[in-house]
Amino acid sequence: MRTREWGGLEREVLRLLREQAKPVSARQLQDLFAEPVPAYTTLMTALTRLERKSVIARVEESPRKVRFSIRRSDGQDAGISMMSALDEAGDRQAALLAFAGNLDDDDVALLRAAFAGQRKKR
């Protein structure tokens, strides 16, 4: 029986790793979970998948002492996901317009300021 939605474990692992000041072992990470706590093997599978996606780093202090850390900030991950979705869209213009149509005024102002800053750098 599935206790988390698809991708839920990976999201929770990333959230917990972002909260850590230094790399942690899988056992330490497992101790940070609220119920339901994933089995060690399930957690290792998720960590291996995230490492293959280059989202986390494996730090091997010895063959039996392995720790994990986050590679990118939450904002960087979101940006990469957004670009990936845009790259996969059949109609890039329609995808951009649909996304932009859902932005609130603060988001639009932030983007305008970012674009203005890029123009000044050129």
Structure tokens that stand for 96 in this block: 């951009």
Quote the pLDDT of residue 4. Answer: 56
Quote the pLDDT of residue 60. Answer: 86
Q: Read out DSSP for 36-48?
A: SPPPHHHHHHHHH
Other beta carbons less than 10 A from residue 50's beta carbon: 21
Q: What is the pLDDT along the chain (122 residues), one digit of tens a residue?
A: 456 566 789 989 999 999 999 999 999 999 999 888 999 999 999 999 999 988 899 998 887 899 999 987 778 777 877 888 888 889 999 999 998 899 999 999 998 888 888 767 66
| Cα distances (angstroms) measured from residue 113 to each of 21, 109, 119 | 32, 6, 10
Structure tokens that stand for 50 in this block: 């995230």
CA distance 84 to 88: 6
CA distance 50 to 101: 32
Quote the pLDDT of residue 44. Answer: 95
